[in-house]
Chains A and B, each alone.
Chain A
Amino acid sequence: MLPDSLDATEVVAMLTRSARELRVAASELDALDATIGDGDLGSSLAALFEGSVDEVDTAKASAGLVLKEIGESLMRRCSGASGTLYALLFTTVGAELADDATIDLPELARAFRCGLEMVKQVGGASLGDATMVDAIEPFVATLEARDGDDVTMDRVLSTAADAAQRGALSTTELVAKLGRARGFGDRSLGHVDPGARSFAIIAKAWAGQS
């Protein structure tokens, strides 16, 4: 069970789980990427997150500072389009939350909304373009809605992670309009976008599922 207010230890654990789950899924993501890209997305993202998580000072007292540091580390280390977009997402989230010792749901939702908007603005993707935005948007929307009567961090993050995965799967019905996959036209139909799937993996790790 995740607490309703995330402290530094909890955030470090979420990030560590993200890196571990990306490593576990590296071959799956490489294979998805190989159908429409150059087949290294999983290996690259796993190495990027592992390196950045290793670099973060886990003794930080503040949850916000941990996120700020992970964002900065990703930005220093990133390579390739997907890595750079994750660096942009997490530097924005980290900058929004840097002053917060602990993080509650409304703050998390607001910070991820800012991060998502930055990724959309700089990356140029909208919902339905078969990119990572198709997983991040429903994740953020679920955090923002906080529907139902059991509005706990644990349940809402879990619901949001499910929404991210549904969003990732929805990309099989979409024609890629951006990134390397764009040149493949209709051939991207029937394939899960590896960028969207990678965010679903991270979201699931954040929700404490494995």
Chain B
Amino acid sequence: MTNNVVTDSMGEIHCRQILVNDPKQLAAELIDGYVDVWRDHISRSPEGPIVRTTPKERGRVGLVIGNGLGHEPAMMGLVGRGLFDVNVPGELFAAPGPMAIAAGIRAADRGAGVLLCVSNHSGDVLSAELALRMVGTAGPDCRMLRLWDDISTSPLHGPDRRGGAGLLFAWKIIGAAAEAGLSLSECERIGVKVRDNVRSLGAVFEGTHNPITGNAISPVPDGTALVGAGVHGDSTGEVLRVDNVDSIAELLVERVATDLQVEPGERCGVIVNDAGAMTVLEVTLVARAAKRWLNQRGVGVERLWTGRYATTLATAGVGVSICRFDDELLALWDSECRSPAFNVYGENRVA
């Protein structure tokens, strides 16, 4: 049932095979294990959603998100103080159904309304819309916020673009706003502001393998990069020869910065995301090149992060994300958060 070798005109392309047990039990085993490993931060509620082990104070906005599995640590690992209250896991690369999202909305309610964040993919949007109908007027005041950042998915920054790893900027900043006690409308306003100021683009150097279908995901010939590969291995199909790290890093940062129209004198944050199987060496070189490229054009890089945040199993790929910062966004980014996968330890600078 495995097919992690693809033959094309350039010969055999190997993709890293993913080892699991019974594919039907994959979701249950992953969730069970992950929650146990990180039990100081997260727990599983009897209704199914992943919740904080120590819930947020009452009277603050609840934040919830659903997502397909295979992107760990996103999003189970982003439940915690200063981040999400609730995550609703689905199946491998498939969004949870509407009933599960509705249960997540109820679990996130701390008496000040709930913001249902959605990484803009068709299954996630559909489930969220149906969940809002199910919760109806009897449930907590809940609003849906669709977020997108992947510039390879549509030429215009809008609802035709899909969500990618750069949404970590949104998760972190909206999470800080909700933790600080801002209203539902304020959290929504800040979320829209981040979304409109963040862009991402990724490239894959070696694909992976879907342990349920047995098929290769993003097979790429050696020495080349598949540019614009999304979080499911779907891509625009643009394949480029890679000479060194700087050349691919500069290509990604240039396209992202151009799309965002970053001007000299502006400030930004940069995240270099490891799609699952890069080395620290490589992502560090990408981050270094990205910062240098921006600095050379007079753009300030206020914060620079590298890490394995949103993955596609064992894909060897990187994503470069840029968020334009103003004082408000930077302060929210710097406020404390604690979770399995993302921690900011600094002073809480949110007024």
Chain B residues, Cβ within 8 Å of A43: 212-213
Docked-complex contact B122 and A81, CB < 8 angstroms: yes
Indicate if the CB atoms of A37 and B213 lie closer than 8 Å: no
Q: Indicate if A190 sits at the interface (CB-CB under 8 A).
A: no
With known contacts A40-B210, A178-B122, A76–B99 Cβ distance under 8 A? yes
Within 8 A of B (CB), among A151-189: 178-180, 182-183, 187
Q: How far is the CA of A178 from the CA of B160 in the complex (A)?
A: 9
A9-17, A82-90, A101-109 - the one binding chain B = A82-90
Query: Does chain A have a CB within 8 A of B77?
Result: no
Set of chain A residues within 8 Å of B93, measured between Cβ atoms: 38, 40, 80
Instruction: Give bound CA distance, A85 to B126, whole Å.
Output: 8
User: With a CB–CB cut-off of 8 A, which chain B residues contact A85?
Assistant: 126
A47 at the interface (CB under 8 A from B): yes
Residues of B within 8 A of A42 (CB): 213
Closest CB-CB distance, A10 to chain B, in whole Å?
Answer: 28
Interface size, A (range)? 20 to 34
- Contact across chains for B234 and A83 when beta carbons are under 8 A apart: no
Residues of B within 8 A of A82 (CB): 123
Option from A34, A37, A38, A83 in Cβ contact (under 8 Å) with B97: A83
Is B259 located at the chain interface by the 8 A CB criterion? no
User: Given the interface contacts A38-B234, A43-B212, does A84 sit within 8 Å of B123 by beta carbon?
Assistant: yes
Smallest beta-carbon distance A78→chain B, Å: 4
- Contact in complex: B213, A40 (CB < 8 Å): yes
Q: How many residues of B contact A (CB 8 A)?
A: 33
Expressed in whole angstroms, the minimum distance between the Cβ of B312 and any Cβ of chain A is 9
Inside 8 A of B160's CB, which chain A residues have their CB?
182-183
CB contact list, B14-67 vs A, under 8 A:
24
* Residues of A14-50 whose CB lies within 8 A of B: 30, 34, 36-40, 42-44, 47
State whether B130 touches A122 (Cβ < 8 A). yes
A130 smallest CB distance to B (angstroms)? 13
Q: With A and B bound together, what is the CA distance between A36 and B68 in angstroms?
A: 18
Q: Which residues of B contact A123 (CB under 8 A)?
A: 126
> B306 in the interface, Cβ–Cβ < 8 Å?
no
A122 touches B68 (CB 8 A): no
B94 A44 Cβ-Cβ under 8 A = yes
CB-contacts of B84-100 with A (<8 A): 90-99
- The secondary-structure label for the interface of chain A is helix
Asked if B217 is at the interface (CB within 8 A of a chain A CB), the reply is: yes
Does chain A have a CB within 8 A of B232?
A: yes
* Chain B CB within 8 A of A135 CB: no
A27 to B337, CA, bound (A): 43
| Segment 40-64 of A: residues with Cβ below 8 Å from B | 40, 42-44, 47
B94, A79: Cβ atoms closer than 8 Å: yes
For B133, the closest partner residue in chain A by CB is A122
**Residue pair B213, A79 in contact (C-beta under 8 Å):** no
B233 at the interface (CB under 8 A from A): yes
Give per-residue flags for B167-189: 1 if the beta carbon is below 8 A from chain A beta carbons, else 0: 00000000000000000000000
A-chain residues with CB within 8 Å of residue B210 when the two chains form the complex = 38-40
A80 close to B130 (CB less than 8 A):
no
Judge whether A84 and B130 touch: CB under 8 Å. yes
Q: A84 to B126, Cβ gap below 8 A?
A: yes
Q: How far is the CA of A183 from the CA of B164 in the complex (A)?
A: 15
Interface status of A97 (Cβ within 8 A of chain B): no
Would B123 and A81 count as touching, CB distance under 8 A? Answer: yes
Most chain A beta-carbon neighbours within 10 Å: one of B94, B99, B129, B154:
B94
Give every chain A residue within 8 A of B121 (Cβ-Cβ). Answer: 180
> Shortest Cβ distance from A80 into chain B, in angstroms?
3
Contact, CB under 8 Å: B153 / A84: no
A37 and B235 alpha carbons, distance in the complex (Å): 9
Q: Do the beta carbons of B153 and A183 come within 8 Å of each other?
A: yes
Binary interface profile of B, 198-235, with partner A (CB < 8 Å = 1, else 0)? 00000000000010110101000000000000001110
Which A residue's beta carbon lies closest to that of B312?
Answer: A38
Residues in B whose Cβ lies below 8 Å from that of A39: 210, 213, 215, 217, 233
**14 extra interface residue pairs, beta carbon distance < 8 Å, beyond A47-B24, A82-B123:** A37-B234, A38-B93, A38-B210, A38-B217, A40-B94, A40-B210, A43-B213, A78-B97, A79-B123, A81-B95, A83-B123, A84-B95, A122-B130, A183-B160
Interface pairs (12), CB distance under 8 Å? A38-B210, A40-B213, A75-B99, A76-B97, A78-B98, A79-B90, A79-B91, A84-B97, A122-B130, A180-B122, A182-B160, A183-B236
Chain B interfacial positions (CB closer than 8 Å to A): 24, 68, 90-99, 121-123, 126-127, 129-130, 153-154, 160, 162, 210, 212-213, 215, 217, 232-234, 236-237
**Interface, chain A (partner B; CB < 8 A):** 30, 34, 36-40, 42-44, 47, 75-85, 87-88, 122-123, 178-180, 182-183, 187
